[in-house]
A and B are shown apart, each in its own frame.
Chain A
């Protein structure tokens, strides 16, 4: 299994440009999430999905869109990039254990985005 994969690894955008960060997992996990990591802020949840066709907002959703058309893929779209979106973006997936509320997350390697 490749686990959780993210592309690209690095990206530089100009203010106002749009782009899509790709995330895919091959573990048949129903749950997928996007986080951003900024120095001193830990990880903050952007959007998450509990299954194909179902998404919801996290702590910091503004400026980002997501969709989940398949179990495997969960792309994150930046509609009009701003310097405040300069960050490292992590995608994660998880699964539920029947009868338990336990959701260990598996993380991708991250995408380092710079907006100038």
Chain B
């Protein structure tokens, strides 16, 4: 079964609005990562938050992590049409070996100009 579950599955907003995506997971993690996938392309790493961190920023991205609730959120502020893509959370399980991320099903974000 999937380690990460994302909510919502699809999100449609207007340009300039903020977009929030949520990810829940089941077992203890080393870190949680967010990736973006444009249609027909490979995934691109956006941001990584470690299990001992609660919040991290990168440009217009803000990620939070609540290990007590086993959940994370990705906030994209002042969205642009170019942010239209699918967004995936991925967990790096504790005691994991490298290269073994577990991905959620993704949130499909549509930003209308």
Contact = CB atoms under 8 A, between A and B. Distances in A.
Interface of A: 4, 30-33, 35, 40-45, 48-50, 56, 58-59, 90, 92-96, 100-110
A33 B50 contact: no
A44 B105 CA distance: 9
Given A48-B100, A103-B92, A41 B44 contact: no
10 contacts: A42-B2, A43-B88, A48-B97, A59-B102, A94-B98, A94-B99, A101-B30, A105-B99, A107-B42, A110-B41
Interface residues of B, number: 27
Given A90-B43, A107-B43, A50 B99 contact: yes
Contacts of A101: 30-31, 92, 96
Nearest to B94: A101
Among all A-B residue pairs, the 7 with the closest Cβ atoms? A31-B99, A107-B42, A31-B98, A101-B30, A43-B103, A42-B105, A48-B99
Contacts of A49: 99
Interface of B: 2, 4, 30-31, 33, 35, 41-45, 48, 50, 88, 90, 92, 96-106
Contact of A45 (B30, B44, B100, B104): B100
Given A42-B106, A45-B101, A101-B30, 20 more contacts: A31-B97, A33-B99, A33-B101, A41-B105, A42-B88, A42-B104, A43-B88, A56-B97, A59-B102, A90-B42, A92-B43, A100-B50, A103-B92, A103-B99, A104-B33, A104-B48, A105-B43, A105-B45, A105-B90, A105-B99
